[in-house]
Structure 1
Amino acid sequence: MLRILRGLAHKYFSDEEAVILFLILVTGTVFVIWFGAMLAPAIASLIIAFILQGLVTKLTKLGVPEVVSIVSVFLVFLGILVGVTFGLLPLIWTQLSNLAGETPRIIGELQTYLELLPEEYPQLISADAVNTLYQQVSTEVGHMTQWLVSFSLSSIPDLVALLIYMVLVPILVFFFLKDREVLLGAIGRLLPPQRPMMLQIWHEVNLQCANYVRGKAVEILIVGGATYVAFKLLGMPYAALLSLLVGLSVVIPYIGAAVVTIPVAMIGLFAFGWGSHFIWVMVIYGVIQALDGNVLVPVLFSEVNNLHPVAIIVAVLFFGGIWGLWGVFFAIPLATMLKAVFAAWPVKDYVPPPTVKES
Structure 2
Amino acid sequence: MFNIQTSIQMKKEFPFYIKAPAILLGIVITVFILSILRDILVPLAFAALIAILLNPLVVRLEKRMHKIVAIIISMLIALIAVAGLAYFLSAQIAHFFDNVDAMKQKFSELLSIIQKWLEQTFGIGARKQVQMVNEAANNSKAVIGQTLSGALGVLSVIFLIPVYTFLIMLYKTLILNFLYEVFSEENQQKVGEILTETKAAIQSYIVGLLIETGIVAVMNSCALLILGVQNAILIGVIGAILNLLPYIGGIIAIALPVLMATLTTDGFTTQLLIIAAYALIQFIDNNILVPRIVSSKVQINALISIVVVLLGAALWGVPGMFLSIPFIAVLKIVFDRIEGLKPWGKLLGDNIPTEHMGQLKRLRRRNPKISKA
The verdict on a shared fold, with TM-score over 0.5 as the criterion, is yes
Matches of residues 141-220 of structure 1 in structure 2 within 5 Å?
A: 142=134, 162=154, 165-195=157-187, 196-220=189-213
Distance 2:132 2:231 in 1: 21
**Contact 2:208/2:295, CA 8 A, preserved across alignment:** no
The residue that corresponds to 1:323 in the other structure is 316
Distance of aligned partners of 1:157 and 1:200 in 2 relative to their CA distance in 1, 3 Å threshold = closer
Residue aligned with 1:301, SS: coil
In the TM superposition, what is the alpha-carbon distance from 1:49 to its structure 2 partner?
1.6
Kindly provide the amino acid, as one letter, of the partner of residue 209 in structure 1: I
Distance 2:124 2:84 in 1: 45
Unaligned residue ranges in structure 1 (runs of 5+): 1-5, 14-21, 118-125, 349-359
Q: 1:266 aligns with which of 248, 254, 259?
A: 259
**Contact 1:92/1:241, CA 8 A, preserved across alignment:** yes
Residue aligned with 1:38, SS: helix
In the TM superposition, what is the alpha-carbon distance from 1:225 to its structure 2 partner?
4.5
The residue that corresponds to 2:327 in the other structure is 334
**Contact 1:51/1:210, CA 8 A, preserved across alignment:** yes
Distance of aligned partners of 1:34 and 1:97 in 2 relative to their CA distance in 1, 3 Å threshold = farther
Distance 1:320 1:268 in 2: 29
The residue that corresponds to 1:34 in the other structure is 36
**Contact 1:51/1:214, CA 8 A, preserved across alignment:** yes
Residue aligned with 2:40, SS: coil
Kindly provide the amino acid, as one letter, of the partner of residue 244 in structure 2: V
Matched, 1:49 2:41: no
The residue that corresponds to 2:362 in the other structure is none
| Aligned residues: CA RMSD | 4.8
Distance 1:174 1:322 in 2: 26
Identity %, equivalent residues: 20
The residue that corresponds to 1:106 in the other structure is 107
Unaligned residue ranges in structure 2 (runs of 5+): 1-6, 15-22, 342-373
Matched, 1:290 2:290: no
In the TM superposition, what is the alpha-carbon distance from 1:210 to its structure 2 partner?
2.9
TM-score in terms of structure 2 length: 0.65
Q: 1:128 aligns with which of 104, 114, 120?
A: 120
Distance of aligned partners of 1:93 and 1:55 in 2 relative to their CA distance in 1, 3 Å threshold = farther
Matched, 1:302 2:295: yes
Distance 2:240 2:110 in 1: 28
Distance of aligned partners of 1:283 and 1:159 in 2 relative to their CA distance in 1, 3 Å threshold = farther
Matched, 1:82 2:80: no
In the TM superposition, what is the alpha-carbon distance from 1:261 to its structure 2 partner?
1.8
Kindly provide the amino acid, as one letter, of the partner of residue 316 in structure 2: W
Distance of aligned partners of 1:254 and 1:152 in 2 relative to their CA distance in 1, 3 Å threshold = closer
Distance 1:244 1:52 in 2: 24
The total of aligned residue pairs comes to 322
Distance of aligned partners of 1:162 and 1:133 in 2 relative to their CA distance in 1, 3 Å threshold = same
Kindly provide the amino acid, as one letter, of the partner of residue 35 in structure 2: I
In the TM superposition, what is the alpha-carbon distance from 1:79 to its structure 2 partner?
0.6
TM-score in terms of structure 1 length: 0.67
Distance of aligned partners of 1:346 and 1:192 in 2 relative to their CA distance in 1, 3 Å threshold = same
More relative contact order, 1 or 2 (CA 8 Å, 6+ apart): 1
Kindly provide the amino acid, as one letter, of the partner of residue 254 in structure 1: Y
